[in-house]
Chains A and B, each alone.
Chain A
Amino acid sequence: MTNHWVDIKNTDLVMIMGGNAAEAHPCGFKWVTEAMQHRKAKLVVVDPRYTRSAAVSDIYAPVRVGTDLAFLGGVIHYLLSNDRIHHAYVKAYTDASFLVKDEYAFDNGLFSGYNEEKRNYNKASWGYQMGADGFVKADPEMQDARCVFQLMKAHYSRYTPEKVSEITGTPKEAFLKVCEAIAATSAQDKVMTILYALGWTQHSVGSQNIRAMAMIQLLLGNIGRPGGGVNALRGHANVQGITDMNLVAGVLPGYLRMASDAEQDFQKFLESRSPKPLRPGQMSFMQNYPKFHVSLMKAWYGAAATKENNFAYDWLPKHNTAYDVLAMFEMMAQGKMNGFICQGFNPLAALPNKKKLSAGLSKLKYMVVLDPLDTETSEFWKNFGPLNDVDPTKIQTEVFRLPTTCFAEETGTFTNSGRVIQWKERAVDPPGEAKPDYEIVARLFLKLRGMYAKDGGALPDPILKMAWSYTNPHAPSPAEVLREISGRALADVTDPKDATKVLAKAGEQLGGFALLRDDGSTACGNWIYGGCWSQAGNLTARRGTADPTGWGAYPEWGFAWPANRRVLYNRAAASPEGKPWDPSRPYLAWNGQRWAGADIPDMRADAAPEEGVGPFIMNPEGVARLYAPAMNEGPFPEHYEPFETPLGANLMCPDNPKAVSNPAARVYKGDMEAFGKADKFPYAATTYRLTEHLHFWTKHARSNAITQPAPFVEIGEDLAKEKGIRQGDKVKVTSQRGEVVAACVVTKRIKGLNVAGKKVHHVGIPIHWGFKGVTQNGYLANALTPYVGDANSQTPEYKAFLVNIQKA
């Protein structure tokens, strides 16, 4: 979240799309009901299904699965063509006025530079126009045909309400009603928040779904403001924490981008990640990258990381190919992987195309499962009748199960969706021989280190020289690890402006990432968590309930990264002159000397408004990007059909077969053939969570099992009638990859949609059941889902695919 849970109470309009906050985030939803009661905020829900969130909404609009970008493109068109944007904000805080290279083009569904064979773009033509002074050229009046604003206007002019309705199946009146509600927040004193989750990420265009909404929020002037922002609701108590620490292949802790094989030169590596400002006077904060990187290496390698050895740069793995989960299971399926450590993860249930996963796991020599529960993955080799019809005699994979502690059985931190790191104590003792993950990993490490020390190896140094100075090396305490993550001074840290002034003495915990240095004098395991355990102690354990300004910042509750800042980009809560956009919501303002208010300023505290430092300090532009060449499928979000489309064509470019689905999405050999077509699988399907369960965990808990005991699928009354299916009937749902048998919920809440003159029906498939647990057993829903991911993050397309359904 750019903002945080409590801040939702400050909004005028809550939009829920690509998520179902009431269902999946019932506790956080209290801030929605708070805003609705006390600020008279309205709630808009856009979803293929009339959800529990929709049940308490003011406006609901249905949308066909996988067509969110057509909808959002239509919203952008509505805002631009009706001139309902926050002009001063767009002009000052976005790249709308920047000029784009003349070579950039978009034609019939494809951007310039497409390579069909490789399924990717050469982005050379997408950049900004650079002036002789080294800065981006801009037209402050935003009239130049090559400026971002004009290009954007032209790009989205194609997304008329009629076209949107034709593609999405959203009735035009419902679409326009949503547009109008959104457009009302373009007023300087109105703010909208968007709450989304995996309903946007789990598409082959997932990242662009979110970008499109970021663009809308920028056009409305809603980012950086209380009650605004782009807010991803995370699905586990600590999934934000694991993402911050390096969940995603290709990044190091704190989102520091890993080196690739081609980047063997340390200095070049650092330079490529420390961009110079693209506009005069901008901070381009990531110029500090070397400080963060070197401090990370000092945390990992201590004295062994020296200036002479480039702070152990050579010991860092450099990736030669993709290592996301889809890539991993592809390697497994090809027999290129022989061992798999599966920690806190149930891929057989959680990843798409169970058949392919099972085939991959069967080719492993060994698998080690670290989990508190009996997962399906750990018993993938066992026959459970039709639910898991495998022949154990043909599977040679050796499986080791190491029981770990569950969340209430271990001390540590949770980082919530709002980036608030919160310390927690173990509540109960773990059962049996269960051990915390960190103890298991530590013991594994020490064992391996012993073997390297004894026998040597091809490259023993990264293991042998790792710093491991914990009180109990076999079980580092969570407190020690959090102190290491937060950072400390290895030598006296002095003021760069005055070397005699010591800011932190050697050995002290650092107060924040501003004190990190690139000369090896500081160590920090994750720069964005810098200062969470300072000399003042463990700030994540704070439970102060003071809210001095009443805007819900709660500065003494836990510690929000970065720097205990509760709302990111909060400099944008004020006008360029430093006055709050909305005088009734004075969150942050320039007081003549410095930035002050309810929050830690996201800005150099003494940067006077006259200096013109933009609020988006992480971008070398200093402003936010409406135009983003970093995206793999194009600088502007464009509608593409899901890989399994009920239409078979992209109505934005119906005669271009290359641009039906995301042209830059990675599709492995064999998976393209495993995509179904509408002739055999005519219904649009989607998978989702229910409020009664958490993923595949709570089927092991009796209370949850009672409240939602057995697998089901949902269809609308019209489709049920067509198929002769009645309430509660057993039905069989099939895709090109597998099948699921479950009870059928026939509902008014899912309607057939009119899409391009054709009726498209939806089949809804909740995911929570499997062949382990205390609920009724069921088929794994991911037997059905397709093996393809988003072109940027590789998040699989669980939310839009094709099925058939019949009475079982």
Chain B
Amino acid sequence: MASLQSLDVVARSATTTPTPSVRQVPQVAKLIDESKCIGCKACQVACMNWNDLRDEVGTNIGVYDNPSDLTPSSWTVMKFFEVESKESPLEWLIRKDGCMHCEDPGCLKACPSPGAIVKYANGIVDFISENCIGCGYCVKGCPFDVPRISQKDNKAYKCTLCSDRVAVGLEPACVKTCPTGAIVYGPKDDMVSYGIKRSKELQERGFRNAGLYNPEGVGGTHVMYVMKHADRPALVDLPANPTVSPLVSLWKGAAKPLAMLGMLGAATAAFFHYMKVGPIEDKDDEDKVVEANGAPGPSSAPRGSSVSSAPTGRG
């Protein structure tokens, strides 16, 4: 994805030049109402259709989650959580997982490649894939474990909040397709007040701890949840107080120039390592994330194409 709206870019990875600030656009947000979500996965299908993504046809590993986790081709997946305790009867909590579009995006801060990650004035955090070097720093920088590196082209991928649709005044594809109105979209302020209203309604319905998930630690998010149990986000595998890792903050601050040099060195070294030795075989199926050593994982894509598109020119 190339940046379609450079005038709107308010933050750009590994860039010190000032960003444009003339254009004024409202901040947007997507609100996911857990109490209305039936886990139908229509959003997953809309996402793959709009973005022309088709993941592998997998297998069943004993759960309803399919694909079982985010992948470079599945930018949103439904996660199912069976929750039961002595105090409360069984619940089946369903959460639409994907990029949270943080106001203070850890991925962007961590990214060493100029312009590979941008934040638009409307709040959307977007990966500009042509600038991505596949280092995996965004993965480490993300407090929500969202970006995934493709083994095909060694680039990072995640939900764009349909920045291409939003740019022309459309809602994200998942919002358009959601049959129950569990996913809504609009100006961030409106979404916050609607989220608070919905939380109150749920409290009246008996979910005493219902609330809005819009965590402060990352400056708030442009994807928010109305949760039945906002006091326990861990029930749906969300951090209670997500923050950008102190290491990333450090890297972004004083250590940045040094680290930058180091990174370039590492990338260059990685490139030569790759050319000489070839890809490192990743035996661990679970670990789909390529570690931040600059080396691509196993690839079924033609090596030549992978190498020829490797961003050495920018390194």
Interface residues of A (CB under 8 A from B): 22-23, 26-27, 29-30, 32-34, 37, 40, 50, 52-56, 58, 60, 691-692, 702-712, 726-729, 742-749, 774-776
Contact = CB atoms under 8 A, between A and B. Distances in A.
A691 B42 CA distance: 9
B49 interface: yes
A708 B66 contact: yes
Contact of A749 (B38, B90, B179): B90
B60 A711 contact: yes
B57 A706 contact: yes
B92 interface: yes
Interface of B: 35-42, 44-45, 48-49, 54-64, 66-67, 74, 82, 84, 89-94, 179-182, 198, 201, 204-206
A28 to B, nearest CB: 8
Given A30-B181, A52-B38, A703 B59 contact: no
A728 B57 contact: no
13 contacts: A33-B181, A52-B38, A52-B40, A55-B94, A60-B90, A691-B39, A703-B45, A707-B41, A708-B66, A726-B62, A727-B63, A743-B59, A749-B92
A27 B63 contact: no
B34 to A, nearest CB: 9
B62 A728 contact: yes
Q: How would you classify the secondary structure of chain B's contact residues: helix, strand, loop or mixed?
A: loop
Contact of A26 (B57, B67, B74, B179): B179
A506 to B, nearest CB: 47
A40 B36 CA distance: 13
Nearest to A775: B57
A29 B54 contact: no
Contacts of A37: 36, 198, 201
Nearest to A59: B89
Nearest to B89: A60
A568 B20 CA distance: 61
A156 B49 CA distance: 53
B136 to A, nearest CB: 25
B38 A707 contact: no
Given A55-B38, A55-B92, A728-B61, A30 B180 contact: yes
Given A55-B38, A707-B41, A727-B62, A29 B179 contact: yes
B36 A26 contact: no
B180 A33 contact: yes
Given A55-B39, A707-B44, 17 more contacts: A22-B38, A29-B180, A33-B182, A37-B198, A52-B40, A691-B39, A692-B66, A704-B45, A706-B56, A708-B66, A709-B60, A710-B58, A710-B59, A727-B61, A729-B62, A749-B92, A776-B59
B57 A748 contact: no
Given A34-B181, A55-B94, A745-B64, A709 B59 contact: yes
A29 B60 CA distance: 27
Nearest to B61: A728
A58 B48 CA distance: 33
A746 B82 CA distance: 11
Contacts of A58: 205-206
B106 to A, nearest CB: 29
B60 A691 contact: no
Contacts of A704: 45
Contacts of A708: 41, 66
A620 to B, nearest CB: 42
Contacts of B66: 692, 706-709
B178 to A, nearest CB: 9
B44 to A, nearest CB: 6
A625 to B, nearest CB: 35
A747 B35 CA distance: 21
A215 to B, nearest CB: 30
A62 to B, nearest CB: 10
A706 B67 contact: yes
Contact of A54 (B84, B92, B93): B92
A26 B40 contact: yes
